[in-house]
Amino acid sequence: MSSALTALCRYPIVQAPMAGGASCPGLAAAVSEAGGLGFLAAGYKTADGMYQEVKQIRGLTARPFGINLFMPQPGLSDASAVEMYRHQLAGEASWYETPLGDADAGRDDGYEAKLAILLDDPVPVVSFTFGCPSRNTIAAFARAGTVTVVTATSPEEAAAAERAGAHAVCVQGIEAGGHQGTHRDDPQNGGSGTGLLTLIAQVRETVQLPVIAAGGLMRGSQIAAVLAAGAEAAQLGTAFLVCPESGAHDLHKRAMTDPLFNRTALTRAFSGRPARGLVNRFMREHGPYAPAAYPEVHHLTSGLRKAAAKAGDPQGMALWAGQGHRLARALPAAQLVEVLHSELRSAVSASTQRGMS
C-alpha cells in the first residue's frame, strides 16, 4: 500500500463498514489486530452511539481503525410516493403485528454532531458514503491527522473526491452487497452500475488517488486481481459478515449459504436507495413499487425488519449480501484475515511463476 494508507495495516485487506449492526467493535478490532483495517459504521447510529463504539474499540485494540459516515441527503421531492408505499406495506404491518415507522424521522443522521466528535477526538480513518464532503471538512480532518476516504461508483464521483482533497477513494463495483454508495440517487437509475475491475481501470485513468476496491470480493485470489488492476487495497463486507464476531443477526448469517437464497439483486424495497441483498419474499413483492426515497423508506420499514427478525422470518429481513455470498466462510475474523492473506500470497506467487515461464 502507498501514501497515507501505507501505515494503516500490514495487509491490504479492509473490512467494510456495514451499517445496521454487523460492523461492531469486536469485529473491527479483530480485523485490525490481525493486520487488516477494521471499520465501524456510524450510519443509523446517534452521535453518542458512535462515540461509545469508538471508546469500545479503543479498549480492544491499539491498531488503526476507521469510521464510516453517511452524507446527509437532499430533501424528498415526492412525498406522495412514500405515502403510496405506506399503503402498499399495510399488509406487512398487519402480518408482523407492528406499526409502520415514521417516514419523517430524520434525514441527516446527526452528521454534523458526528463530525464534531471525530474532529475533537480524532480517529485514524474516516470514510464517507452517499456523497462527498466539502473541501473544508476534509481539510479539517487532514489537520487532525485523519485519513479520509470517499466512496465512489463512477469516475466522475472519484474526480469529485480528488477535487475535495480526499486521501483515497473506495471504488465500489456493482457486485457489492448493501447500498450502492452513489453520490446522487437518480430515480431513473435502479442501481445499474459498472463491474469492479472495469471501474478500477476507469478511475485509475481519471484520478491520481489511491484506490480501495470493493464489490463481491471473497477470496485472496480476487484481492490479487484488484491489486493487479491498480488498487492499493481490497474492501470486503459479505466475507466478514458471517464471522462469529460480526453483529449481524444469526438468520442473516445463515442465509448467506442457504440454498433457499441462491441469488442477489438490487432493490429499493427496504430503504428507498438501491442496495444489493439476497432475493426474498419482501424484495420480490415490494421491490417493484418502492420509491426512490431514502431515508424515508428506511424509517418506514425499520419496524417491519426488526419484527421479521424477532419472528425468525428471513423472508421479511434486509439480507444485504454481495454477489459472492455463497463463498462465505464462518471463520473467526483474525483467521479469515490470515487465510485471505495466504490466498493472496499464493495467487501473486503463481502469477509471478507464470510470468517467468
pLDDT of 257-267, one tens digit each?
999 999 999 99
User: 357 falls in which pLDDT band (50, 70, 90)?
Assistant: low
pTM: 0.95
Mean pLDDT for all residues in the chain: 95
For the ranges 4-18, 157-171, 225-239, 270-284, which has the lowest average pLDDT?
4-18
Predicted confidence at residue 42, as pLDDT, reads 97
The owner of cell 485470489 is 221
User: 306 falls in which pLDDT band (50, 70, 90)?
Assistant: very high
pLDDT at 234 over 90: yes
Q: What is the mean pLDDT of residues 285-311?
A: 96
The dihedral built from the CA positions of residue 171, 188, 164 and 49, taken in this order, carries a sign that is negative
Predicted confidence at residue 190, as pLDDT, reads 55
Residue pair 109/115 in contact (Cβ under 8 Å)? The answer is: no
Q: Give dist(CA 335, CA 185) in Å, integer.
A: 37
* Rg of the chain, C-alpha, whole Å: 19
Percentage with pLDDT > 90 across the chain: 89
Q: Give dist(CA 274, CA 89) in Å, integer.
A: 18
Q: What is the mean pLDDT of residues 116-130?
A: 98
For the ranges 186-195, 255-264, 302-311, which has the lowest average pLDDT?
186-195
Percentage with pLDDT > 70 across the chain: 96
Which cell goes with 144?
487532525
